Amino acid sequence: MIKRLFEKKAENSGNVTGPFGPKYRRYSGAWATLRKRLQSEAGLRVVDAGATSPNNINYLTNLGQSIFLSDPVNDALTGDWQTGKDEDDNPILNVDGYLDHTLQFSGRMFDVVLLWTTLDYLPEPFVVPVVEHLHRSMNIGGQILAFFHAKSKEEQLPYCRFHVTDTDDVEMQQAQPYVIQRTFTNRSIQELFSRWSGFRQFLAKDGLYEVLITR
């Protein structure tokens, strides 16, 4: 469904540079809610997961927030993390090495994580450790904004970079051609974040679940 939206919008898109495709805007109830907090509380520490977005840096720093950039999906899928194979021929991955490389916060604690669709694209051995690492690295009351793909008949859903705006919309921009690893159900998302204190889901019509999870 998202793939079709990109194809539909491509004719009217602006200039495209680098490996990224055209952008299109979509309403985001989760972003609308989180944006109110970001506008009312200065001095928050924010992790933005994805390729560098000047939009996100400028918007957040202008609000008085500090931003930490991390690209968990690209690091996971391009890094040399395999250390061997198990008895079923599945790859054994260096999870600790990956976390130290990608989410090394040097003891800093965070208030907001813009996780986007990261968990849909990570190799399976990284998913739970990343969630646990974020739990340890966030202040009480901290929030994660996460999107999850609903089940689709399409073989491949595009990996996107998300750009925040000063409205209730976010901009989605097709990025590297990474293949989705899994789709989560509502139940599996809640189980994954079972140690967290709050879970709020927002309805969307373009094949994405939107969730705000509170530490």
In this prediction, residue 160 carries a pLDDT of 92
Alpha carbon 57 to chain centroid distance?
Answer: 15
Spatial distance between the Cα atoms of 40 and 61, rounded to a whole number of angstroms: 14
In this prediction, residue 12 carries a pLDDT of 36
In this prediction, residue 155 carries a pLDDT of 52
Tokens coding 65 = 């927030």
In this prediction, residue 124 carries a pLDDT of 94
Q: What is the mean pLDDT, run by run of 10 residues, along the chain of 215 residues?
A: 40 44 90 97 96 94 96 94 86 94 92 97 96 96 95 68 96 91 90 94 84 96
Spatial distance between the Cα atoms of 54 and 51, rounded to a whole number of angstroms: 10
In this prediction, residue 88 carries a pLDDT of 82
In this prediction, residue 5 carries a pLDDT of 42
Q: Please answer whether residues 190 and 196 qualify as being in contact, where contact means their C-beta atoms are separated by less than 8 angstroms.
A: no
In this prediction, residue 208 carries a pLDDT of 86
In this prediction, residue 91 carries a pLDDT of 84
In this prediction, residue 151 carries a pLDDT of 74
Domains of the chain: 2-214 (3.40.50.150)
Q: Please answer whether residues 160 and 173 qualify as being in contact, where contact means their C-beta atoms are separated by less than 8 angstroms.
A: yes
DSSP assignment of the chain equals -HHHHHHHHGGG-----TT---EEEEE-HHHHHHHHHHHH--S-EEEEESS--HHHHHHHHHTT-EEEEE-HHHHHHHS--EEEE-TTSPEEE-HHHHHHHHS--TT--EEEEEEETHHHHS-HHHHHHHHHHHHHTEEEEEEEEEEEEPP-SSS----EEEEE-SSSEEEEEE-S-PPP-----HHHHHHHTTTSSEEEEE--SSSEEEEEEE-
Q: Which amino acid is at 184?
A: F
Q: Which amino acid is at 68?
A: F
Spatial distance between the Cα atoms of 123 and 119, rounded to a whole number of angstroms: 9
Tokens coding 134 = 């974020």
